[in-house]
Structure 1
Amino acid sequence: MKFIAIVGTNASKSYNRRLLHFMKKHFAAKAEIVIKEIKEYPLFCEDFDETPHSIMELATEIDHSDGVIFATPEYDHGIPAALKSIIEWLSYDVHPLTNRPVMIVGASLGNLGTVYAQDDLRRILDSPGLGPYVLPGHQFLLGHAPSAFDKNDNLNDDRTISWLDTCFDGFIKYVVSINSMAGRNNQADATTGASSKPRETPVIVDLRINESTVDASTSASKTDKTNDYGIDEKTFGLVKSSVDETTGASSSNAEQETSERPVIVNLRQPKMAVKADSVTGASQA
């Protein structure tokens, strides 16, 4: 499994960079983590005739990965402008984050450990043209960062490391679930560590649940709680509620049969088509 890890600042000294390098070493047996610096990329601007080659290369690397990890500091309760610029590039002409599993971590000097910045980043990633699957329920917030690392740049608190382990293991399970539901081939390439088959669009996602049987005495529906991929859909909130026509009770699609039709998900994203009118300055879509 291969992840692209983005250092969310262009500063030369960064605790978030140190955190990602620790994760790369600490989780080497579980996944390959490729760390990308954002200080080398141009500031986003629509005046470019075409997307810069460096941005296209980053988009290609993301598209051939199994997921993305953002490590963000917190500036004025938000993410740095340099990180926002990269995200703008990745939602303008290319869309490698669409339907891509994402994990967010962060380190800061204060008590709260980038909680506001992470919330800001989650909100931004929910924008049109982005649309990744952000890992829910596993927030790694590293506060008091100057004292959190030893002289070898390793985290020095066992409880902190244990929580990071929990978050990362949860992310791996999340990636497997998302990629399985999207019909992706997660067999890792022996030379690159990336999935052997990149995403194709559109993707046909078969969400059919195994055929249920009805108990003759109670008329209750019985079915397996996993879908055709063997994934428990309750794990990551993929259960859809429905109403029993006879009782009016609400039930989930993990307990009640859904239709035998696959769901077709079109992952194509249009190029951002907002340009300023040269006369009035108004946006034209």
Structure 2
Amino acid sequence: MHKFVAIVGSNSDDSTNRKLLQFMKRHFAAQAEIDLVEIKDLPMFNKPENRQVPAAATAIAEKIDQADGVIISTPEYDHSAPAVLMNALEWLSFHIHPFVDKPVMIIGASYGSLGTSRAQAHLRQILDSPELRARIMPSSEFLLGHSLQAFDDEGNLVDQQKLAKLTGLFTDFQTFVDITKELNHANEVNRKEVQNVNWDKL
């Protein structure tokens, strides 16, 4: 059984992105183990001179290292991923590199009708950066619009077409994870390159 880390890309206590991940954890429990991870308590990234990474960030990095893949659920603020999520990714690429060649599935929920399409596109660019180098599952947007009305009182998705798409994409992600395990011939070089990034000159 696959083990996934699911990052809640919001610091809101009432985030529908958290609800979406909580639903996935329950609904796909027979297929995979999903561990929800919060990022809202991470300090603001400030590129510390002593290169000290906060314990909360290293704990998340260790979970990602041990996981088969990562699921990130992002809101959309101003056509972009939220600052709290970008802050987390900055810590997770500052002298620690858990995302190198790690399979990632991006999803998102928003109150509007378009879901989080622009935030997801932005997040793909960030995760593909030289400091992160994640392997993002291609052609796999899951956009949950009108998310305040998307769940019933038990936290289940009510739109069966959306559920069918999420189920298909989650199955595809598991296949993507298995395929990615075979695409590891440059992993050692990739890790050396990110370790050699000179943050003092960035």
> Which residue matches 1:270?
195
Summarize deviations over 1:54-107 as a string: whole Å, max 9, x none. 111111110010000000000000011000000001111101001000000000
The structural deviation recorded for 1:182 is 2.3
Quick one: which of 37, 50, 65 aligns to 1:63? 65
Structure-2 residue corresponding to 1:42: 43
> Match for 2:175: what amino acid?
K
Residues 1:8 and 2:9 are matched in the alignment: yes
1:146 partner SS: helix
Task: Report deviation, 1:48.
Answer: 5.7
% identity of equivalent residues: 45
Q: Which of residues 157, 178, 190 is equivalent to 2:180?
A: 178
1:119 equivalent among 94, 118, 121: 121
Which residue in 2 is equivalent to 1:191? none
Q: Does 1:132 align with 2:113?
A: no
Q: Which has the higher contact order (CA 8 A, sep 6+)?
A: 2
**Offset from partner CA, 1:219-246 (integer Å, 9 cap, x none):** xxxxxxxxxxxxxxxxxxxxxxxxxxxx
Contact 2:100 2:190 (8 Å CA) reproduced: no
Shift of 1:266: 4.4
Match for 1:9: what amino acid?
S
The aligned counterpart of 1:159 is 161
Tell me how far 1:271 sits from its aligned partner: 5.1
Query: Structure 2 matches for 1:89-128, cutoff 5 A?
Result: 89-128=91-130
- Partner residue of 1:168? 170
SS of alignment partner, residue 195 of structure 2: coil
Write out per-residue CA displacement over residues 195-214 of structure 1, whole angstroms, 9 at most, x where no aligned residue. xxxxxx62xxxxxxxxxxxx
| C-alpha distance in structure 2 between counterparts of 1:266 and 1:109, whole Å | 38
State the Cα distance separating 1:273 from its structure 2 match: 1.6
Q: TM-score, normalised by structure 1?
A: 0.67
Q: Secondary structure at the match of 2:35?
A: strand
Indicate the SS of the match to 1:20.
Answer: helix
- Superposition deviation, residue 181 in structure 1: 3.1
Shift of 1:270: 1.6
Indicate the residue corresponding to 2:56 in structure 1. Answer: 54
- Whichever residue aligns with residue 23 of structure 1, its letter is M
Q: Distance in 1 between matches of 2:125 and 2:183?
A: 24
| Distance across 1 between alignment mates of 2:106 and 2:90 | 17
Amino acid at match of 1:267: R
Q: 4+ residue runs of structure 1 moved beyond 4 angstroms?
A: none
Distance in 2 between the 1:266 and 1:85 partners? 23
Contact kept in structure 1, 2:71 and 2:107, CA below 8 Å: yes
CA–CA separation in structure 2 for the residues paired with 1:141 and 1:171: 16
- Per the normalisation by structure 2, the TM-score is 0.93
Contact 2:10–2:82, Cα closer than 8 Å, also in 1? yes
Give per-residue Cα distances to partners, 1:122-180, cap 9 Å, x unaligned: 01111111011100111100001011100111101111100000110010000000013
Q: For the pair shown, which has the larger CA radius of gyration, 1 or 2?
A: 1
Q: Which amino acid aligns with 1:122?
A: R
Residues matched between the structures, number = 198
Q: Is contact 2:109-2:115 (8 Å) kept?
A: yes
The AA in structure 2 aligned to 1:150 is: D
Q: Distance in 2 between matches of 1:51 and 1:91?
A: 10
- Asked whether the 8 Å contact 2:105–2:136 carries over to 1, the reply is yes
Asked whether the 8 Å contact 1:91–1:272 carries over to 2, the reply is no
Contact (CA 8 Å) 1:93, 1:271: kept in 2 or not?
no
Task: Assess if the C-alpha contact under 8 Å between 1:92 and 1:271 holds in 2.
Answer: no
